[in-house]
């Protein structure tokens, strides 16, 4: 009897699926830490290591590391959640996130997913025993550095405001050269026509349609701001808005929280003072005639995008029914966009069929009777159709129709 021992082949270590994350925030990184340099560095490093499998390099060009809206960072997290990444390489804690809370939330989620992060500058691995404590301390320093830089910038800008100096800005009709505003003649002619049309009784929508026919694109909000912009009368109102929080970077309208500075006769006006003041009075008069209801939040607000013109969809009541309609079609008509309106009940049913509202990033309307629901890396394409007229009738509509038929027969 012969006995042969069968030896199992040695188990080779699995290659870690490895990705790099790079971010550039400002001119200081232009030389050694530019996006191209970081991407090349991580690509070469990962591909040269036989223990690593190259997934890719995710690169953001963001103003700061405090925002959660970095698209490539979000895509990296989605791929981690999908189980496509085991290890992330990044330059430093400040490149990954300067917000301590955000950093710890992300690292704890990645830890649960079995994903490790290596911070090269600090030589810290997130999956080690003392990694989280050290990263907390380092992130706190980075967050404080971000706050300090923000406060220094605010102090410099507010000092310039107090001295009557403007920050760089774009104003239709002018080109800013240093602290001076130089008139652009061809654009100034359009600005004068807009003010004249408004004083002659045209509304903002009518003016917008007229400009579009000339190949000049303004939003309704943009036209309203133009008519209220004191720069066209030669003045300069400084600190109209401000950033309250260095982490969110959200710009707020200054309604008295901070002092404002009015510099009169700062530059050459495009609109004379009498005309400008007359437009402000007329805008107030028209506003007083229209008492608009406070805006109401709907479940699909800011989620639906037209695949034909790129505009957002807005909520509207048509024949006592809630529908969603392309803003371009609703404002300018079918000659500018042919998108159809979508009944809200159908939209709600299709959203539930696609997977609900949790995690829903966008609803794209690519064409007639088509909807695309986008959930991060997941996309769901659906079609819909109008209900028959009889099925769409409410009990009130049926009763009204019945009464009309009774009245018709009575007259006969």
Q: Where are the domains of the chain?
A: 16-145, 164-288, 304-392
Q: What pLDDT does 34 receive? A: 72
Q: What pLDDT does 147 receive? A: 64
d(CA 169, CA 355): 43
Same fold, 16-145 and 164-288: no
Percent with pLDDT over 90 in the chain: 39
Task: Give me the mean pLDDT over the 333-346 stretch.
Answer: 90
Contact 54, 46 (CB under 8 A): yes
Other Cβ atoms less than 10 A from the Cβ of 276: the count is 20
Mean pLDDT, the chain, as a whole number? 81
What number of CA atoms fall less than 13 Å from residue 203's CA on the CB side?
Answer: 7
Q: Is the pLDDT of residue 318 over 80?
A: yes
Using CB atoms within 10 Å of the CB of residue 359, give its burial: 0 to 12 exposed, 13 to 18 middle, 19+ buried: exposed
Two tokens at 307?
């695949």
Per DSSP, what are the bridge partners of residue 19?
56, 88
Q: Is the pLDDT of residue 125 over 70?
A: yes
Most confident of 57-66, 164-173, 279-288: 279-288
Two tokens at 405?
């038929």
Other Cβ atoms less than 10 A from the Cβ of 254: the count is 15
Q: How far is CA 312 from CA 34, 264, 304, in A?
A: 35, 39, 6
- Residue 405's pLDDT band, with cuts at 50, 70 and 90, is confident
3-state secondary structure of 324: strand
- Residue 66's pLDDT band, with cuts at 50, 70 and 90, is very low
Using CB atoms within 10 Å of the CB of residue 49, give its burial: 0 to 12 exposed, 13 to 18 middle, 19+ buried: middle
Q: State the CATH class of domain 164-288.
A: alpha beta
Non-local (6+) Cβ contacts of 382 within 8 A are 350, 353, 354, 370, 371, 372, 373
Sign of CA dihedral 104, 108, 113, 115: positive
Contact 195, 176 (CB under 8 A): no
Q: What pLDDT does 141 receive? A: 59
DSSP H stretches of helix in 202-311:
204-213, 220-228, 273-289
Q: What pLDDT does 197 receive? A: 95
CATH match for 16-145 among 3.40.50.11540, 3.40.50.1390, 3.20.20.70, 3.40.50.300: 3.40.50.1390
Tell me the DSSP string of 161-209. HHTTPPPP---TTEEEETTEEEE-HHHHHHHHHHHHHHHTT--HHHHHH
Q: pLDDT: is 327 or 103 the higher one?
A: 327
Q: What is the pLDDT of residues 206-254, one digit of tens each?
A: 999 999 989 998 988 899 999 999 999 998 887 776 666 655 567 777 7
Q: What pLDDT does 27 receive? A: 47
Q: Is the pLDDT of residue 396 over 80?
A: no
Q: pLDDT: is 57 or 108 the higher one?
A: 57
pTM assigned to the model? 0.49
Contact 93, 122 (CB under 8 A): yes
16-25, 43-52, 55-64: the lowest-pLDDT one: 55-64
d(CA 356, CA 348): 9
Q: Is the pLDDT of residue 163 over 70?
A: no
Q: Is the pLDDT of residue 270 over 60?
A: yes
């Amino acid at each position: 009897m012969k006995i042969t021992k069968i030896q199992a082949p040695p188990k080779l270590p699995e290659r870690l699926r490895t990705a790099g994350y790079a971010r550039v925030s400002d001119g200081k990184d232009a030389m050694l830490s530019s996006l191209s340099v970081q991407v090349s560095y991580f690509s070469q490093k990962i591909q040269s290591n036989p223990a690593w499998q190259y997934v890719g390099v995710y690169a953001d060009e963001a103003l700061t590391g405090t925002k959660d809206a970095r698209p490539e960072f979000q895509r990296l997290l989605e791929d981690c959640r999908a189980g496509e990444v085991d290890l992330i390489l990044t330059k430093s804690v400040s490149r990954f996130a300067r917000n301590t809370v955000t950093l710890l939330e992300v690292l704890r989620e990645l830890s649960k997913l079995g994903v490790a992060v290596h911070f090269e500058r600090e030589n810290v691995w997130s999956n080690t025993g003392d990694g989280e404590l050290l990263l907390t301390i380092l992130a706190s320093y980075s967050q404080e550095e971000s706050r300090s830089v923000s406060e220094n910038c605010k102090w410099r800008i507010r000092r310039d405001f107090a001295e009557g100096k403007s920050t760089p800005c774009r104003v239709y009709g002018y080109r800013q050269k240093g602290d001076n505003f130089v008139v652009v003649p061809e654009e100034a002619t359009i600005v004068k026509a807009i003010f004249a049309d408004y004083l002659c009784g045209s509304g903002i929508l009518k003016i917008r349609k007229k400009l579009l026919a000339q190949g000049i694109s303004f939003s309704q909000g943009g036209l309203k701001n133009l008519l209220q912009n004191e720069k066209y009368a030669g003045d300069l109102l400084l600190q109209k808005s401000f950033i309250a929080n260095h982490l969110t970077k959200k710009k707020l309208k200054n309604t008295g929280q901070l002092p404002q500075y009015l510099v009169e006769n700062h530059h050459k006006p495009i609109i004379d003072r009498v005309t400008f003041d007359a437009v402000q009075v007329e805008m107030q008069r028209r506003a007083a005639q229209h008492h608009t209801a406070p805006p109401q939040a709907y479940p699909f607000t800011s989620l639906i995008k037209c695949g034909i013109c790129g505009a957002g969809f807005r909520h509207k009541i048509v024949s006592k029914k809630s529908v969603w309609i392309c803003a371009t079609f609703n404002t300018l008509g079918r000659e500018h966009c042919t998108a159809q309106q979508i009944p809200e009940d159908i939209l709600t049913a299709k959203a539930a069929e696609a997977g609900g509202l949790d995690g829903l990033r966008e609803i794209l309307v690519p064409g007639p009777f088509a909807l695309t629901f986008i959930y991060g890396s997941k996309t769901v394409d659906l079609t819909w159709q109008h209900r028959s007229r009889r099925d769409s009738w409410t009990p009130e509509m049926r009763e009204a129709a019945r009464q009309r038929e009774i009245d018709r027969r009575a007259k006969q």
